[in-house]
Amino acid sequence: MIDLKRRILNLTINDSIYSKKYETQIKMNSKNIEIINFLGSGLKNKYINKVDSILKLRKVIKDFDLVHINFLAPSYFFYNHFFKHSKLIVSFWGSDLYRYPKTSKKSKFLQKKIIKNADIITVVNKKMIPVFHEIFGFENKPIYETRFGLPIDFDQIDKIKKNEINDFKKKHNIPDKDYIITLGYSSDPRKNHEYMINEIIELSKKRSNIFVFIPLTYGDETHREKIKKLCDNSFKKYDINYKILENYMTNEEIAKFRKANDIMINIQDTDAMSASMQESLYAGNIVINGSWLPYTELLENGAYYETIDKLEKGTLSEKIQYIINNFDELKGKTKVNKKIIYERSSWEINIKSWIEVYNKLLEE
């Protein structure tokens, strides 16, 4: 075992809840490892910020035993010179593997240069391993499955009472008999909001007792304004009750939102394993996922969710209609999901694998 305090520099693209909770969990579970977060968000902005970030990193990197890149943004290539002289872990989250290298040859080239210097690669699910090898090669590099816990603590969802759900509905003027449907979880064009909105309109022609949430609290601002305008024009025309969520929500607010929701729709183009989708499963929502998303691990472990195979007219609206018509029966099926999601995505379980990976590299 490591008997001295070892310092790890965690390069993260933004000051996310994952990075904060990750740092906290390492402190709680390992006396020998210290995590320091170094934000890379400046790399996405003006050139002067890139220079500033590089100069800062050059000053501090020598004081660390290991560098850990969480989410391999191609822009980290500007740091690559420093990685050659450090022990390096590269962790793929999802879109950094599924989107960047497939949509841009330049991104793939820059990512591959960084990976060449990595001692260890990690991915959030085993399905990503053959994808990594297919895109980048590097079959001889050690690669491990590690993942973060979910942003929200499970006990925050568990402690939500029935009266708090009722208060949530009153706050948003949701009739008791309405089915609450959530479309996606962020302002991202790849979430296929336009298709979902059109399908809700089709559904409304057959059923009026629905209330729609569209979470756009983070993501692309241009897309957010586009979807707001589309809803304003379309949903109001068909007298569909809805609310767009734009403001930051506390974990308590998110927990109430998850527990109050009935149906969560997640039909984005690509994903590794959406945290919002998993929170919805844990909270007892009936989730509709795109069958093309790599969630077979959940099914293999016995999880229940519905799927659609194509983004064709009528496919999603008919699936929602089927769920509402058989709601009590299908709601009963969701009971298995709570234990499955906890065992897969709790911090208490997942942090152990991260510490094991760190120890492997630090003991060499």
- Band (pLDDT 50/70/90 cuts) for residue 94 is confident
pLDDT in tens, 96-108: 998 889 888 999 9
Please check whether residue 8 is in contact with residue 30, taking contact to mean a CB–CB distance below 8 angstroms: no
pLDDT number for residue 24: 86
Question: What pLDDT digit, counting tens, does each position of 258-313 carry?
Answer: 999 999 999 999 887 899 999 999 999 999 999 999 898 899 999 999 999 999 99
pLDDT over 80 (residue 221): yes
- Residue 40: what pLDDT? 57
Nearest to 217 by CA among 231, 227, 204, 208: 227
Average pLDDT over residues 9-30: 80
Which pLDDT score is estimated for 45? 37
Pairing mode, strands 210-215 and 241-245: parallel
User: How far is it, in rounded angstroms, from Cα 343 to Cα 272?
Assistant: 17
The string of pLDDT tens digits covering residues 29-67 is 888 888 887 765 444 433 334 556 666 777 778 888 999
Pick the CATH number of 154-345 from 3.40.50.720, 3.30.870.10, 2.60.40.10, 3.40.50.2000: 3.40.50.2000
User: With pLDDT > 70 as the criterion, what percentage of the chain qualifies?
Assistant: 93
Sorting pLDDT into bands at 50, 70 and 90, what band is 170? very high
Return residue ranges of the chain for CATH 3.40.50.2000.
Answer: 6-149+347-362, 154-345
Task: Give 132-147 pLDDT, tens digit per residue.
Answer: 999 999 999 999 999 8
Residue 42: the pLDDT is 40
Q: What is the DSSP string of 139-203?
A: TTS-EEE--PPPSS-HHHHHT--HHHHHHHHHHTT--TTPEEEEE-SSB-GGG-HHHHHHHHHHH
Q: Where are the alpha helices (DSSP H) in 35-150?
A: 47-60, 80-83, 95-98, 100-103, 105-116, 128-136
The overall average pLDDT reported for the chain is 90
Is residue 359 scored above 60 in pLDDT? Answer: yes
Distances (CA, A) of 247 to 214, 253, 265: 12, 11, 20
How do the residues of the chain divide into helix, strand and coil, expressed in percent and rounded to 5?
A: 50, 15, 30
- Class of 6-149+347-362 in CATH: alpha beta
Contact between 288 and 263 (Cβ < 8 Å): yes
Task: Provide the total of helices (H) and of strands (E) in the chain, helices listed first.
Answer: 18, 12
Amino acid at 224: R
Instruction: State in Å, rounded, how far the first CA of the chain is from the last one.
Output: 11
Which DSSP string do the residues of 216-232 spell out, in sequence order?
-SSB-HHHHHHHHHHHH
- Looking at per-residue pLDDT, the higher value among 363 and 234 belongs to 234
Give the model's pLDDT for residue 301. 95
